[in-house]
Structure 1
């Protein structure tokens, strides 16, 4: 699954590398997979990418056998459906989180990654990955013993004074033991989401090579 998503982001001919990332591919799969058919213009608007960039993304997705394109729009192929299902079992939809001492930006999106606690070190890798994607940073949280903690800070209550955010994350993302929640922070919602999903993809890559 991960290698397929990575291949979509590579250039397939001499020239400039694609200006979309694995996070855009993940979001595109969720957009297309959630409808019967999606047009390029609508996909472009929801991804917040230019129409030319979206055309290139669609071409790459088609080349990998992930989608089928017809006059009625874009749909997932049988292989794309499997990829979409596999991805959905590992990464959650994004959830908006209000600014707090836990986050580093005015806009924040949280994404859950299943059973990824074992590959988290200090959370710096996810932060750096989010920053490279254009976000302001990322906060990594591990769910263990019915509570969320930051890496290497298990004895500290990082939700002191903001317990409502802890309750919201538990309620909306429903984490299980050893799941990880990454909160991407950005100057706007789009960059916060890109940061969170790129950090989540980084965790999946670590899991695959563990």
Structure 2
């Protein structure tokens, strides 16, 4: 995490390769460390595979142009399109979506084993029409690297209910297939949902 002032934030804001997200509710350094930094630490330690799908980012706690102490996240900009708004997708994108989901399940397993509670990225953000869809992901380039990027990693979903994650995942897959006109391997979906349930069973058995 980078402590600093608005001038430090502006170094990112004036660089076209970065975007800066302002977390206005975190005006206390302790809370910012406890909630945002702690989740970022979890990602860095247990989500190494998932991190390959997350643009480079930095946490900053500084003062904005109004003199308010605010927490910021500076992230490498993805030049592309929000996954939820895309009408058509390529086989390459579908493959990277499957890789992202596999990495998310791995994060859930590693955090359940190490921390006693499984963490899963928020890949199913709330929708206005209440439909469960994949979200917080963009297909595009970071510098010259084309890929599917997870662009909103906070908050991580702390759950011990793999059935709920599995249910939402299956619904998101159905929406994705219906809206994009593509298929995700049913064997793959069955495999990762089964893995989630097994993680919970093993974790609860070990308590």
TM range (shorter): under 0.3
What TM-score, normalized to structure 2? Answer: 0.27
Higher strand share: 2
